[in-house]
Structure 1
Amino acid sequence: MIDREKLVRDSTDLLRDLIRIPSFSKEENQTGDTIERFLQQRGVKTHRKCNNVWAYNKHYDTAKPTILLNSHHDTVKPNSGYTRNPFSPDVEEGKLFGLGSNDAGGCLVSLMAVFLHFYAQENLKYNFCLAASAEEEISGLNGLELIVPDLGPLDFAIVGEPTLMQLAVAERGLMVLDCVAHGKAGHAAREEGDNAIYKALKDIEWFNTYRFPKESDAFGPVKMSVTVIHAGSQHNVVPARCEFVVDVRVTDAYRNEEVLDIIRQHVSCEVKPRSTRLKPSSISKEHPVVMAGMALGRTTYGSPTTSDQALLDIPSLKLGPGDSARSHMADEFIYIDEIEAGIGLYIDILRHVVE
């Protein structure tokens, strides 16, 4: 067990080092090196695939269940509103500025501190697997999804994202659907053709009004929004094809595939999902880790934003220092005391579960 003050010091120093290194999605090799070096210097054996780094506690026991501690080290690109150097980890009035400080560097270094806190302890009820993942910001194929098969059996996960250390017990999934209504071309002046726009309108109205039978306690109904439409080539030709796009925010009441099946049963257009990878996720409020958090005064809620939770098929809790409202903002920052409090809360929550 390591002194908590040292954990906080080391964590904030590591975060400063990570901020100094550009780590846009797919370009995280140098931050991956820094994370590996940080762990190895503390006696931890690391594993790596592409820019993903992971490690296990010292007394890993295959007979015990395993908790995944995951956060990401890639960032978006700085937006045009920045007034400071996004790669300069300046501290002013208790704020640590820098790209990725809030999303999700503070979460990552805090979870690494928690991992080190428990790393050498014996007789824990659970193993720990720490995974610092890449490509989260673009839901990339070479991020967490790439290494999950290599991590071994996992019982549940804590995914580090800024939640003000409140308990995000559910997260919406996302499907983007490319829909095509097929008709038959004809001259607009004569009674010819089968207008694909009119056929599409019937399906669009269904997307607008349909309410799925099951609703989520956290989110309510599944939300579907038609966001793009395109048809026709000239004013006097009845269009044979009308294309439109539907944004579907799936709740934890359904799997993506279930929602897709229901949609296809009700519309006449061709429906193709761009992907079903970004799944809704949830964890029971009766789960020991949630109950431990609630016992420490944390509240539960459903998160509207997507994270690496979407790539996991196990119960997962999104929890971390920082504020989601600061993510991707100009002059991004996290409070130093948020990191300190986050490390303490993570440890106190997990002690109730693993000791």
Structure 2
Amino acid sequence: MTAIDILSKLVSFSVLGGESNLSIAKWIQEYLESHGVDVHLFYNREKTKASIICRIGPAVDDGVILSGHMDVVPVEGQEWDTNPFELVNKGDGNLYARGACDMKGYLAMCLAVVPEMMQSTLKKPIYFAFSFDEEIGCLEGENMVKQLKETYSETPRFAIIGEPSMMQPVIGHKGIYVLKTVVNGSSGHSSRIRQEVSAIHEAARLILWLENKMNTLVDNGHLDDRFTPPHTSIHIGQINAGIAPNIIADTATFYWDIRVIPKDRATEIVQEFKQYCVELEIEKRKIFTKFKIETTEEHPTVPVLDTDATAEVVDLVKRISKSNTIQTVAYASEAGHFQEGGYESIICGPGSIAQAHRANEFVSVEQLNSGVQMIQNLVKELN
């Protein structure tokens, strides 16, 4: 099967982040096994989802991991010109479908080269590590790294994660930390604002503290010009509170995220925030003794990717991708998990991130072919 044939099949599985992915996982398993690959599926607790791990080549150190995710984002509410779960070639050089770019194009190009991998005399192994639930917070990344370590006694050296990068090597991205803060105040008539503790008013103080913290980091020189913006960002994306204009709100909930540059630590920012919350609780309990602020993680932290430009994995990917341009990106990925797990990690995959998550998502045939060539070059490197 060609990469286009495989991509056509992969996009037909409308598996969204958070949903069961067994349909696409089983198809990939059967495809790999039909070529003689020993495949391992690792299930979630409910046995409704599975990640895929396999090795092609000898059980020796210093192999290369090729990693991507099988899930996609929703299409609801988007204006598609074609069926988003059917690969469409309009004759303009592009292949349209949900996931064509992010990131089933990468999975397809890896799978298309499996026959060549199996026929080659690889001196170093190639691993596939395909995850689920990446699109709802990279939830399986850390566990997949753990499964690799537990499954194989040898130690891979490099990890290439195929997020859309126009086949340009990416050596850095920000980490992300998503949180939920709930403020519990007292309800009452709006004329009693001095006698009650408005959850909305106190939530507003917390939000301003977070904005000021972001600005303070910038003022204190916490900058990294490789990124846009070149600093850690703190953003409040959703607020839920209140039932009427003339009723003091007793509950306010807001969701926020920290996108952290490599030199900053999200945990330190959260700890400072929680300390401020304690101080605010002490002050406001003089008015309302049950005043409380609770902050919890919405999902586990996604680590930063911060690979040195002189790292050997960078040289490798430059050679096999035929690209000497390195870059950083604003989005987060599972690459940070692989780097945290001890592998030299980098992003390089077909398509543009500008096409991801939008209607009429596409990957160009040229990009897909370039990706296949990159994996073929990797096979030659490891022979």
How high is the TM-score relative to the length of structure 1?
0.82
Name the CA distance, whole Å, in 2 between partners of 1:88 and 1:238: 51
Name the CA distance, whole Å, in 1 between partners of 2:161 and 2:128: 10
Which of 179, 182, 189 lines up with 2:181 in the alignment?
179
Name the CA distance, whole Å, in 2 between partners of 1:183 and 1:89: 52
Are 1:103 and 1:327, in contact at CA under 8 Å, matched by a contact in 2? yes
Q: Counterpart in 1 of 2:85?
A: 87
Q: Counterpart in 1 of 2:168?
A: 166
Cα 1:288/1:336, change in 2 over 3 Å:
same
One-letter amino acid matched to 1:218: R
Structure 1: state its 5+ residue gaps.
1-8
Name the CA distance, whole Å, in 1 between partners of 2:90 and 2:188: 67
Q: Counterpart in 2 of 1:343?
A: 372
Matched ranges for 1:1-355 at <5 A: 10-25=2-17, 26-50=19-43, 51-61=50-60, 64-79=61-76, 80-93=78-91, 94-113=93-112, 117-119=116-118, 121-122=120-121, 124=123, 126-139=124-137, 141=139, 143-152=140-149, 153-181=155-183, 189=191, 191-210=194-213, 211-212=216-217, 214-219=222-227, 220-232=230-242, 242-267=252-277, 268=280, 270-294=294-318, 296-312=322-338, 313-314=340-341, 315-348=344-377, 354=382
Cα 1:326/1:242, change in 2 over 3 Å:
closer
Are 2:179 and 2:295, in contact at CA under 8 Å, matched by a contact in 1? yes
Name the Cα RMSD after superposition.
3.1
Superposed CA offset, 1:241-298 (max 9, x none): 5443322212222343233224334554543322333222232211112134446334
Cα 1:200/1:135, change in 2 over 3 Å:
closer
Name the CA distance, whole Å, in 2 between partners of 1:113 and 1:119: 11
One-letter amino acid matched to 1:317: I
Name the CA distance, whole Å, in 2 between partners of 1:20 and 1:179: 38
Cα 1:181/1:84, change in 2 over 3 Å:
closer
Structure 2: state its 5+ residue gaps.
44-49, 150-154, 281-292
| Secondary structure of 1:148's aligned partner | helix
Are 1:115 and 1:128, in contact at CA under 8 Å, matched by a contact in 2? no
Identity over aligned residues, as a percent? 24
- Displacement of 1:56 after TM fit? 0.4
How high is the TM-score relative to the length of structure 2?
0.76
Name the CA distance, whole Å, in 1 between partners of 2:35 and 2:347: 27
One-letter amino acid matched to 2:226: A
